[in-house]
Each structure stands twice: as structure tokens, then as C-alpha cells.
Amino acid sequence: MVHTAGQPMTTEGGKPPTNDTPSPTSPVPRGGRLARLVDRLQPPREEDFRSPAHHERVTARVGLWLGVAFAVCFVTGLISHAIQKPPSWFYWPASPVNLYRINQGLHVISGIAAIPLLLAKLWTVYPKLFGRPLVRSLHHALERASILVLSGAAFFELATGLFNIAQNYLWGFYFPSAHYAVAWLVAGSILVHVAVKLPVIRRGLVRLTAPEAPAEPPSGVLSRRGFLRNTWLATGVAVVATAGATVPLLRNVSPLSWRSDRGPQGVPVNRTARAAGVTDLARDPEWRLAVVTRRGTTRWSLAELTALPQTTAELPIACVEGWSQSATWTGVRIADLIRLAGGTPGTPVRVESLERKGTYRTSTLPGPHTEAPDTLLALHLNGEPLDLDHGFPCRVIAPSRPGVLQTKWVHRLEVR
């Protein structure tokens, strides 16, 4: 931080430094202008920050909404995690069809909203970084340490999340494990932080009965209320600028939506047939779908599948990375296939792709989804035969499921 001694470091609320009075404590400048400048460089003190934005009433309000954003993000993240790695007690319903889409939309939008909120929140408390002495007591030391964990974890989650939705991997680690572990650190350190600060928070949130005397210098850039309004505005702008990735109404509004309409058949593709290495296997005329039940294995060719009763359903592809797109899918009900092969719908089904490797080459459809009438082995998308990149010859499309589990290029179903 650069400022000149003797001129209190003012922020946008304070009067800008106008004169050059040297501080009595600063060393007498010697030598050239550069040496004089270097002599005058020193960190600001806590009381040098005079902007109304640093008031605890501002901090409490921004903090409250940041807490709400993180809470939504955490809960929706846990739900998405549980769907992908279901513990034995976990139940996720097959309807309404858009439930996962909403969950994941909320996850990403609340995360994006948290970015301006976190920056505003940190700006309101930034002067405290310069509070001296650095550590006053054990209690104070623990408090500072917990804030370091909170800030590190919060930035970690928001930054990796933001780059991950852009599929821009500035790291070599496995994102889901890291993002999941640090989420618990954010949640825990927020709760500890609230426990420590509760009296300040309550004081800060109390509604003033009498109008407070305006303690703000008239030369300020933004008043307390102005800073808050600007924070809400920036949060709203961040949401509107990106939410078109999942909210149909904002499709043509959001300039920074990471999904477009340029995908084949109007639906984005997260993994092409070429990337999956299935281009030849998927086009092989010898391809057969195998459905394995206790009775044995039943095989269908594509023509035979097409000859079975077809069902059409309007279902979204909802990616864990937040984007979603509804589409019209036509194909054979998974429940019908299970029955034809001698199994009972309502039990989990393991789905296997033609992909040879990759984390998502298989998935397991849980019981509620295998009996749902709109869980399909889709052969058509938006009225056309499935594009190779959408999983030709057939793919799973089930209601309220993450896109990565809507397995493409299916060649085998195993009824458990």
C-alpha cells in the first residue's frame, strides 16, 4: 500500500490529500525526489480509512447476504454431490423434472452472486487488516486465524468454481474433490466467524429508530447507503450477466453466459464423440444394446429399438457446471426395456457407455428413475435422429439428473 506519511490514507469517503505537510514522525527527506518518495512510503493505519463503507452497519448487511449466498451454494453443492456419490440413505426424486436443473442453477448463480458480495464485504473490513497490535490475545489470534481460513477458502471456492464453469482448468488437481473439501472449510469458518461476531452483527443489523446524524464527509464518493446500493447493483449485474446459461428468459440478455445455441440440434455438448473416442464404435452396424437381468441378456439392434413403442418427453440436460437446456427427446422407456428383458423397474440400473475410459463411462440410474415414465433411452432429439455428439445410437435421458450421468453411446444396461 502506497501513501505518503502525514497525509492520512483516505479512501473514497475521505477528503483527498491536498497539501504536503510532512508528518512530525517521518524522517527528514534527503536526496532526490525518488529517495524522498521512498522515505514517505509506509503502510496505512486502521484509522486512515475514513470511507463510510467501512462502518459495521455496512459490513453486517453485506455479510448477511454473503452468508445467504454461501448457504445456498453449500446446500445445493451438497445435494449435487450426494446425487453423484449417493450415500445409502440418500433419496433424490425423479420429479419434478427440473429439480436438478434448479438446484444446479442456484448453485452457480449463488456462487457468482457471492463474488461481488465477498469483495464488498472484504472492502468494508479491509482497514482491520492494518489494526495494530497484530495480535492482542489468544482469542484475538484465533479469530484472525479463522478469518484467514475463511478468506482463503472462500476465494478458493469462488475462483475455482468460476474457472470450472468455463472449463478453464488452471490447475492439475481433480476439481470436484478439491471444491468439495474446501466447501466444508468455508461453511465451518463462516459459522465460527458468525459465532465470534454475533454481538457486532446484531448491533449492525439493528434498525435505527432515530435518523443518525450524517457523520459522512460531504466530499465522499459513496455514502453508506450508496455503497450498499452499489453492492446490490453489482450483485444483480453479475447474476444477469451470467444467468442466461440456465435461465431461458435471460438467454439473449446475458453477455457472459457460457452456453450458446450453437450445439448440434440446439443442445450444447460437453464431450464430443471424438473426445470420447467412440466415433467408429458408435457407427458400427453391428452395434447392439444389451440389457442384462436375472433372466439373462437380451439384445436389440437400433432398428429393433426403433420398432418398439416410442415415448416423447420434454427434459432438460442440466450440467453440474450450471448450464441447462430443455429439449424434446424421443425413445424407448427404460422401464419398458427392463420389463421386456425380464426385470422389474424400480431397481437401480447400471448404464455402460461405449467409452473405453473416463470417469463418466458408466452411471447408475437409481430406482425412482428407472420406473419413472419419462426416463428414456433416447433415439431422437428435437425431432431428428440423435447426433453422434449427443450419444448416437442411444443415450439415457432421465428427469432431474446431472448431465454427466445422462450417459451417452449406451451399449449395456444391467438391472441390479
Name residues contacting other proteins, limited to 323-352 (CB under 8 A): 323, 325
Q: Does 258 bind other proteins (CB under 8 A)?
A: yes
Q: Does 202 bind other proteins (CB under 8 A)?
A: yes
Q: Contact letters (x/-) for other proteins, 205-234, by CB under 8 A?
A: -------------xxxxxx-xx--xx--xx
Q: Contact letters (x/-) for other proteins, 285-324, by CB under 8 A?
A: --------------------------------------x-
Q: Taking CB under 8 A as the criterion, which residues in 379-398 touch other proteins?
A: 389
Phi, psi at residue 313, to the nearest 5°?
A: -140, 145
Q: Report the Cα 80 to chain-centroid distance in Å.
A: 11
CB of 67: closest distance to other proteins in angstroms?
A: 12
CB of 232: closest distance to other proteins in angstroms?
A: 11
Q: Taking CB under 8 A as the criterion, which residues in 263-282 touch other proteins?
A: 263-264, 267-272, 275
Separation of alpha carbons 109 and 174, rounded Å:
22
Q: Taking CB under 8 A as the criterion, which residues in 66-85 touch other proteins?
A: none
Separation of alpha carbons 31 and 34, rounded Å:
8
Site residue total, other proteins (CB under 8 A): 101
In single-letter form, the type of residue at position 108 comes to V
Report how far apart the first and last C-alpha atoms of the chain are (Å, whole number).
63
Stretch near other proteins under the rule CB under 8 A, chosen from 58-66, 196-204, 292-300, 344-352 = 196-204
180's grid cell: 468439495
What is the number of other CB atoms lying within 10 angstroms of the CB of residue 150? 17
Give 163 or 287: the residue with its C-beta nearer to other proteins. Answer: 163
Separation of alpha carbons 291 and 305, rounded Å:
12
What is the number of other CB atoms lying within 10 angstroms of the CB of residue 198? 10
SS3 category, 290: strand
CB of 330: closest distance to other proteins in angstroms?
A: 20
With contact defined as beta carbons under 8 Å apart, do 240 and 250 qualify? yes
Give 323 or 409: the residue with its C-beta nearer to other proteins. Answer: 323
Q: Contact letters (x/-) for other proteins, 43-62, by CB under 8 A?
A: ------x-x-----------
Q: What is the DSSP string of 311-346?
A: EEEEEEEE-TTS-EEEEEEEEEEHHHHHHHTT--BT
CB of 260: closest distance to other proteins in angstroms?
A: 5
CB of 340: closest distance to other proteins in angstroms?
A: 34
The residue assigned the cell 484475538 is: 140
Give 90 or 171: the residue with its C-beta nearer to other proteins. Answer: 171
CB of 241: closest distance to other proteins in angstroms?
A: 6
Q: Does 116 bind other proteins (CB under 8 A)?
A: yes
Q: Taking CB under 8 A as the criterion, which residues in 150-189 touch other proteins?
A: 151-156, 159-160, 162-163, 165-174, 177-178, 180-189
Separation of alpha carbons 89 and 387, rounded Å:
37
Q: Does 112 bind other proteins (CB under 8 A)?
A: yes
Torsion of CA 88, 94, 99, 105, to 10 degrees: 70
CB of 351: closest distance to other proteins in angstroms?
A: 21
Give 252 or 297: the residue with its C-beta nearer to other proteins. Answer: 252
With contact defined as beta carbons under 8 Å apart, do 332 and 309 qualify? yes
Separation of alpha carbons 387 and 397, rounded Å:
14
Q: Exactly one of 82, 102, 119, 290 binds other proteins (CB under 8 A); which one?
A: 119
Separation of alpha carbons 199 and 193, rounded Å:
11
Q: Exactly one of 34, 195, 210, 215 binds other proteins (CB under 8 A); which one?
A: 195
